[in-house]
Amino acid sequence: MIKAAVIGATGYTGAELVRILSRHPEVELVALTSRSCAGTPYYQVYPHLYKYIEKECQALDLKSLVAESDVIFTALPHGHSMEIAAEVVKQGKKMVDLGADFRLNSVQQYESWYKVEHQMPDLLPQAVYGLTELNRNKISSSTLVANPGCYPTTALLGLAPLINNKLIDVSSIIIDSKSGVSGAGRKLSLKTHYSEVNENFQAYGVAAHRHTPEIEQELCKLAGEEVTISFTPHLVPMTRGMLSTIYASLTKEMNQEQINSLYQEYYSGEYFIRVLPPGVLPQTKALAGSNFCDLAVTLDSRTGRVIILSAIDNLVKGASGQAVQNMNVMFGLDEKLGLDMVGIYP
Amino acid sequence: MIKAAVIGATGYTGAELVRILSRHPEVELVALTSRSCAGTPYYQVYPHLYKYIEKECQALDLKSLVAESDVIFTALPHGHSMEIAAEVVKQGKKMVDLGADFRLNSVQQYESWYKVEHQMPDLLPQAVYGLTELNRNKISSSTLVANPGCYPTTALLGLAPLINNKLIDVSSIIIDSKSGVSGAGRKLSLKTHYSEVNENFQAYGVAAHRHTPEIEQELCKLAGEEVTISFTPHLVPMTRGMLSTIYASLTKEMNQEQINSLYQEYYSGEYFIRVLPPGVLPQTKALAGSNFCDLAVTLDSRTGRVIILSAIDNLVKGASGQAVQNMNVMFGLDEKLGLDMVGIYP
Amino acid sequence: MIKAAVIGATGYTGAELVRILSRHPEVELVALTSRSCAGTPYYQVYPHLYKYIEKECQALDLKSLVAESDVIFTALPHGHSMEIAAEVVKQGKKMVDLGADFRLNSVQQYESWYKVEHQMPDLLPQAVYGLTELNRNKISSSTLVANPGCYPTTALLGLAPLINNKLIDVSSIIIDSKSGVSGAGRKLSLKTHYSEVNENFQAYGVAAHRHTPEIEQELCKLAGEEVTISFTPHLVPMTRGMLSTIYASLTKEMNQEQINSLYQEYYSGEYFIRVLPPGVLPQTKALAGSNFCDLAVTLDSRTGRVIILSAIDNLVKGASGQAVQNMNVMFGLDEKLGLDMVGIYP
Amino acid sequence: MIKAAVIGATGYTGAELVRILSRHPEVELVALTSRSCAGTPYYQVYPHLYKYIEKECQALDLKSLVAESDVIFTALPHGHSMEIAAEVVKQGKKMVDLGADFRLNSVQQYESWYKVEHQMPDLLPQAVYGLTELNRNKISSSTLVANPGCYPTTALLGLAPLINNKLIDVSSIIIDSKSGVSGAGRKLSLKTHYSEVNENFQAYGVAAHRHTPEIEQELCKLAGEEVTISFTPHLVPMTRGMLSTIYASLTKEMNQEQINSLYQEYYSGEYFIRVLPPGVLPQTKALAGSNFCDLAVTLDSRTGRVIILSAIDNLVKGASGQAVQNMNVMFGLDEKLGLDMVGIYP
């Protein structure tokens, strides 16, 4: 059994890690830390796990926690995972960081977009960007995985087949993304206050969201050239789910069938990517609680653009599910272990 | 492997059966019937099951379907399961009916509340009311199980410990129930049209809902005397979940601790009943996708009443989950098999 | 023009006062106070009022604010209106308090339920309970009106015709109420965090909610005897709207028609009470943004109970609309002035 | 008083017309027609209007209805307004068609996108496209106004200042739109069934929606050249509201301030267009029930694009409100009459 600890277990991505790991046949949860709830039984914070989790939330004692664990999941706001990573590496354990601290390869980019100093720049070169399908080999031999952001997960999985094959104009990419409210976490804010969000739809972070450099960095690796995108996130009055609508101009003429084939082949071995059959479009509800990414690509022949629809459950494939998927890869397990969950519909 | 067929597989309870049975380790799905979608791949009707279900929906050929199945689940409107049951019994197979045709012991009651003739009154005596926790022994030796309605499930599980011990005045029972919209099924209706239901709350079927005689019949068995209740269902603008608030006057003085102990003991061996710890109240969201019933009972000492809160996922413990639980019991399997699902939260 | 000030203008009941008063033909808004937003243009807090309100939020300077106003609305948490009332009375102005400080006639009751000391017990005798339809005469000559709570508004309007005519057993009353989330205000709390509330239904304050003594006090006045009730509030995943389902046993036999007539006659002159025609049940959505209370009463002949459905928009008839209705009465204006708003549907 | 008739009064845009017109100081409603509800009191179909509308729904007797009316509103599916228009023109009355039959100037375009024959092509030249702010003069002297679609309203108002001044590359325009469910009307459909739509987000009509040629036609008039766009509509799990996110590349360098000024000036005399102050972004909830269009434009300096956010209430400015605005213009009334409604928030 792999001994796993979750640091930041009472946020939503933490709770989703606990839900998944509590049912994982090869994992034993050894510690759930929470600054705000230390000493409280976990089921009092999350009653859906009553009878599944007996543990109390505990305060973080870093050294001993790392010592008793094989793998540490950090589900913390940015800026809080760097010292933890240093201790994990020092003790030779493995870590999946669900935050942003190790996603950007460039310290300058990180500090410019996140407005905090990076305390462990020396660790950046060994951090692997954990979009499992695109980076599986590196992840399998890594000890420090930077789990992708939810928006980048949809954008990169949606664009990879085309951009990797140099079939789109990299200056034409527009990513219009829509997210459920749980992506903003459990921290209180007027932006996530029920009466403000319900029956409301709005954009935020226009031309300024921190996932922009992350998407560009990884697209650049796939394209082999610099990529600058327009990215607009929106808040949807629902709890879970994310859908990105992605626009790009083709650089060579393709018909709808060729596009379908390209996607089917590119992801042919990937269990968690479902290229939907013609006539079926992604919908977030079909993914609730599951680790799939559903894709459909439409040729807009009037304009020469493709319109890519890419949907996930933001808390699963967009966060905790992919983190466990990465753990499975890091430990040489079947990638699907503990993750083969059907979405709840309706 | 148990060969299972679902008749009426494209309604919501049918789809939930398919979701659960597709992951059940001892079940093989042999047929999914649908009048409206025969010939269509099931995943086109329910894309969340894409890659899980390859089967097409098929028209119902009753004799051959029963012949190739060990157990038949009927997820149909009332009035449509009677002939199917006759064939199942004739061929010596097992059946769980999720509709209302075999819930009421009295033909007169059935015909008076449901306004259709009962075509198989001879089968009624062998039908067992499938509230698993209250009727396990009979279910285990039964071939025809009448799966309870969702409202009765909450009401009966909530009241059983008190009424079974003659601790409440049976003339004082008021059941005020609230259900998510999925309980009304997938059939189109203005009552389930999004813009009519969203941001709306209303009662329906006041003093006239068909689950009334079902609740009274089973309460009567528990009480050993006639019981007449007031029951009011309401529609909540959410998809899944049901909570009943039940009021009853104590016939003897009890304190809060005694009430808690009564419930803890009454359900001490029951995996799917969670009597919540003091200070935690049921909430439907903690149950989404799970087969639990969560209970909390509060003593209203000012009035001498108890206020019982009883919550379930209406499609799982209120329908398809309990149906599979009953199947497990009928086949001598571990009752939890295929049903040990954590709720999705948030 | 009546000069009106709103103290606590950035909470939801404050904002609703501003919305209504900004369109009131006889009112001039002279001040909007807010502790947290002083100095901010009001439209930045509430963009729906952009182009309607030019004013900035201001800090509270009590003496001068009262001096420049004819009427003061206080939309504050309990405990904060007492000193303001003293100043208003001293300067001979009028006040409508939307909080709880002057609702209970008994200082002991107030302090026992609200856990704070009442600082102005001498003012209690002159405070009038502002359920307009039941108390119009007293309100018209009052300077200090205690605007009712939202739950009591539904309960009292629903029960008045029967209890006032001694037609129900006062020990049998059960009030099962369901409220939209805006009733909990704009203050951040996990209980109103979108992802916790959405797709969730739950009870709260079971047998312990502070509106209980308020309902009992006013029912007692209507009944002419002591009344003890069971009252359970619930939270509905919607923003606006409240519906109470009220159960009571008849003390004398009545048929459905007699009940209908009783309600039609009792409220025959009341513009804002709509006793719905037979076959139509109240639904909260039909009331969104309006000052109506919709009522329907069903006889449950099997049990001898009546089931009363009483619905309002909790922010309008349940708070700010009724406050303006009271102001109209206090100033001798047409009661409908500024309030004749059709609900927004769907 | 202007005598107005609403043909198709029981759909959502019909009901919204009735809500607005019932409060309009210069209008008398003379007839409400409905095929499905003829003979039913209107308040039974729409209880929010109980006490406001005494009329029954009536079957359509076209000649006499036109004879007794000064203006006819048609709120019908496409294909049903053409013969009505002929009668209106014949009798010299005025008409506002909320459907699509007179929006496209080209019969070929209409028949190719809508798949029905146009029965009154001779009337097309006299039909005026009723986007009030962009077409006021023509509307004022028109008898037949084609009220714009909801999506085109957001797109055209959002793009007009830039495209009319030749500041954007017309081949770069991408319109990513999101609509509440009420836009799909009251007609039953699985696409608007509560449990399918709630907690779900999805695109539809990708690269194929019928509002595409309407947007292009009007953009072409503003640009003075052919315009081809990409347009993707999405369904948001909320009842009311629409927001379009529009991307376009600038043809000349501008800074954020210059863009703000351009919009402020372009719409300086327009009551119903609110160019939001810097730092405030449109949100659909701030517009619920109101006739405003809220706009904000952000320069994405990294890509040289503008990102325009344009929001409305789809049933008001996107349909019935604009229809009444057009009626006001057609009859020489103050354009705001009956329409100066504050949005309901929260």
Q: What does each of the 346 residues of chain C score in pLDDT, given as a tens digit?
A: 999 999 999 999 999 999 999 999 999 999 999 999 999 999 999 999 999 999 999 999 999 999 999 999 999 999 999 999 999 999 999 999 999 999 999 999 999 999 999 999 999 999 999 999 999 999 999 999 999 999 999 999 999 999 999 999 999 999 999 999 999 999 999 999 999 999 999 999 999 999 999 999 999 999 999 999 999 999 999 999 999 999 999 999 999 999 999 999 999 999 999 999 999 999 999 999 999 999 999 999 999 999 999 999 999 999 999 999 999 999 999 999 999 999 999 9
Q: What token pair was written down for B143?
A: 């071939």
Q: Which of D13, D194, D238, D240 to mutate to probe the B interface, most B CBs <10 Å?
A: D194
CA distances, A25 to each of A1, A270, B290, C170, D78 (Å): 8, 22, 19, 58, 57
Tell whether B193 is within 8 A of chain D (Cβ). yes
In a domain, A179, yes or no: yes
CATH number at residue A7: 3.40.50.720
Phi, psi of A332 (to 5 degrees): 70, 20
Nearest CA to C326 among C53, C133, C164?
C133
Please give the distance of CA C150 from its chain centroid, rounded to a whole number.
Answer: 4
Question: At which residue do the structure tokens 């792999």 appear?
Answer: A2
How far is it, in rounded angstroms, from Cα A158 to Cα A219?
11
pLDDT band at D72, cuts 50/70/90? Answer: very high
Against chain B, the chains showing at least 3 CB pairs within 8 Å are A, C, D
| Of A344, A30, D33, nearest in space to B239 by CA | A344
* Alpha carbon distance B280, B295 (integer Å): 9
Report the pLDDT averaged over residues A308-314: 98
Distance CA B153, CA B146 (A): 12
Q: How far apart are CA B287 and CA B289, in angstroms?
A: 6
Query: With b meaning 16 or more CB within 10 Å and e meaning fewer, what string describes D249-260?
Result: bbeeebeeeebb
Tokens standing for D261?
Answer: 């000024």
Same domain, C170 and C299: yes
Please tell me the number of Cα atoms within 13 Å of D7 on its side-chain side. 26
A190 contacts C188 by C-beta, under 8 angstroms: yes
3-state DSSP call for residue D85?
helix
Distance from CA of B96 to the nearest CA of C (A): 29
Residue B217 — pLDDT band, cuts 50, 70, 90?
Answer: very high
Please count the CA atoms within 13 angstroms of the CA of D250 that sit on its side-chain side: 20
Q: Sheet harboring A127-129: ordered strands across?
A: A27-33, A2-7, A71-74, A94-97, A144-146, A127-129
* Cross-chain CB nearest to A181 (options C182, C195, C239): C195
Q: Give the C-alpha separation, A76 to A100, whole Å.
A: 9
Q: Tell me whether residue D334 is in a domain.
A: no
Residue D321 tokens, joined: 């409100």
Strand order across the beta sheet in which B27-33 lies: B27-33, B2-7, B71-74, B94-97, B144-146, B128-129
pLDDT of residue A151: 98
pLDDT at B167: 98
Q: Are B77 and B180 found together in one domain?
A: no
D181–chain C nearest CA distance, Å:
10
B51: left (phi over 0), alpha (psi -120 to 50) or beta: left
Its domain, for residue D257, covers 151-314
pLDDT of residue C326: 98
Q: Which helix (H) or strand (E) segment is A307 a member of?
A: strand A305-312
pLDDT, averaged across chain B: 98
C191 and C261 belong to one structural domain: yes
User: Taking CB atoms and an 8 Å limit, are C192 and A192 in contact across chains?
Assistant: no
The predicted model gives B224-240 an average pLDDT of: 98
C328 falls within a domain: no
**Three-class secondary structure assignment of chain B:** CEEEEEECCCCHHHHHHHHHHCCCCCEEEEEEECCCCCCCEHHHHCHHHCCCCCCECECCCHHHHHHHCCEEEECCCCCCCHHHHHHHHHHCCEEEECCCCCCCCCHHHHHHHHCCCCCCHHHHHHCEECCHHHHHHHHHCCCEEECCCHHHHHHHHHHHHHHHCCCECCCCCEEEEEECHHHHCCCCCHHHEHHHHCCCCEECCCCCCCHHHHHHHHHHHHHCCCCCCEEEEEECCCCCCEEEEEEEEECCCCCHHHHHHHHHHHCCCCCCEEECCCCCCCEHHHHCCCCCEEEEEEEECCCCEEEEEEEECCCHHHHHHHHHHHHHHHCCCCCCCCCCCCCCCC
Nearest residue in B to C300, CA atom = B207
3-state secondary structure of A72: strand
- Chain C contact partners (≥3 CB pairs within 8 A): A, B, D
Q: Which residues contact C15 (CB under 8 A, 6 or more apart)?
A: C9, C45, C46, C49, D345, D346
Measured between CA atoms, the residue of chain A closest to residue B286 is A48
- All residues of chain D having their beta carbon less than 8 Å from the beta carbon of residue A346 are 195-196, 198
pLDDT of residue C254: 97
Do C298 and B206 make contact, defined as CB atoms within 8 angstroms? yes
**D204: closest CA among D179, D186, D182, D187?**
D179
Domain count, chain D: 2
pLDDT tier, A290 (very low <50, low <70, confident <90, very high otherwise)? very high
- Shared domain for C296 and C189, answered yes or no, is yes
| Range B245-250 average pLDDT | 98
* Half-sphere exposure of residue D211: CA atoms within 13 angstroms, side-chain side: 24
Q: C110 and C171, same structural domain?
A: no
Tell me the per-residue pLDDT of A74-110, one tens digit each, with 9 for 90 and over. Answer: 999 999 999 999 999 999 999 999 999 999 999 999 9
Q: Is residue D105 part of a domain?
A: yes
Q: Closest residue of D to A202, CA-based? A: D283
Q: What confidence category does residue B7 fall into, taking pLDDT thresholds of 50, 70 and 90?
A: very high
Q: Which residues of B are catalytic?
A: 150
Q: Which of A109, A160, A107, A105 is nearest to A131 (CA)?
A: A160
d(CA C181, CA A194): 7
Average pLDDT, chain D: 98
Q: What does each C-alpha distance from D8 to A180, D12, D16 come to in angstroms?
A: 36, 9, 11
Percent of chain A residues topping a pLDDT of 70: 100
3 state DSSP class of D231: strand
Surface of A (3-32) touching D: CB under 8 A = none
Neighbours of A279 (CB within 10 A): 7
Within the 235-274 window of chain D, which residues sit less than 8 Å (CB to CB) from chain C? 239-240, 274
A35 band by pLDDT with thresholds 50, 70 and 90: very high
Contact C12 D346 (CB under 8 A): yes
**pLDDT, position A286:** 98
Nearest-angstrom CA–CA distance, A118 and A104: 11
Q: Give, in order, the Cα–Cα distances in Å from C136 to each of C128, C129, C142, C213, C330.
A: 10, 10, 10, 22, 9
Mean pLDDT of A189-218: 98
Give the per-residue pLDDT at B149: 98
Q: Is residue C64 part of a domain?
A: yes
What was the ipTM of the complex prediction?
A: 0.97
Tokens describing residue A213: 């450099």
Residues C216, C203: contact at Cβ < 8 Å?
Answer: no
D207 DSSP 8-state letter: T
What confidence tens digit (pLDDT) does each residue in B148-205 have?
999 999 999 999 999 999 999 999 999 999 999 999 999 999 999 999 999 999 999 9
Peptide linkage before D277 cis (omega within 30 of 0): no
Best A176, A276, A315 residue to mutate vs chain D (most D CBs within 10 Å): A176
CB A52, CB A44: distance < 8 Å = no
The nearest CA of chain C is from the CA of D86 a distance in Å of 32
- For the purposes of burial, counting CB atoms within 10 Å of the CB of A106, is it exposed (0-12), middle (13-18) or buried (19 or more)? middle
Q: How large a percentage of chain B has pLDDT more than 90?
A: 100
Q: Cβ contacts of residue D278 below 8 Å, gap of 6+?
A: D256, D260
Q: Across residues B290-300, what is the average pLDDT?
A: 98
The Cα A242–Cα A158 span in angstroms is: 13
Tell whether D190 and D74 lie within a shared domain.
no
Distance between CA atoms of residues C162 and A200, nearest Å:
41
Asked whether A201 and D236 are in contact (CB, 8 A), the reply is yes
Output the domain CATH number for residue C238. 3.30.360.10
Distance CA C199, CA A183 (A): 16
Is residue D185 located within the same domain as residue D294? yes
Q: On the CB side of C331, how many CA atoms lie within 13 Å of its CA?
A: 23
How much is the average pLDDT of D111-138? 97
Mean of the per-residue pLDDT values for chain A?
Answer: 98
D303 touches chain A (CB under 8 A): yes
Smallest Cβ–Cβ distance between A50 and the set B22, B46, B274 belongs to: B274
- Which residues in chain D touch residue A298, judged by CB atoms under 8 angstroms apart? 206-207
Domain annotation covers residue C43:
yes
CA neighbor of A230 nearest in space, from A162, A161, A169, A176: A176
Q: Do C230 and B346 touch (CB under 8 A)?
A: no
Chosen domain end from D75, D92, D126 = D126
- In terms of domains, do D14 and D106 share one? yes
B246 domain-assigned? yes
Which of C61, C92, C126 terminates a domain? The answer is: C126
- The answer to whether C342 contacts D288, with C-beta atoms less than 8 Å apart, is no
With contacts defined as CB-CB under 8 Å, which chain C residues touch A193?
A: 186, 188, 192-194
Q: Does residue B255 share a domain with residue B167?
A: yes
Mean of the per-residue pLDDT values for chain C? 98
CB atoms C237 and B238 under 8 Å: yes
pTM above 0.95, yes or no: yes
What is the mean pLDDT of the segment spanning A3-15?
98
Same domain flag for A163 and A307: yes
Q: What is the pLDDT of residues B47-65, one digit of tens each?
A: 999 999 999 999 999 999 9
B269, part of any domain: yes
Stretch D55-81: mean pLDDT? 98
Whole-angstrom Cα distance, residue C185 to residue C77?
A: 10
Q: Does residue B293 sit in the same domain as residue B157? A: yes
Same domain, C165 and C254: yes
CB D152 within 8 A of CB D240: no
Average pLDDT over residues A185-208: 97
Which two tokens mark A134?
A: 């695109």
Alpha-carbon distance A205 to B230, whole Å? 52
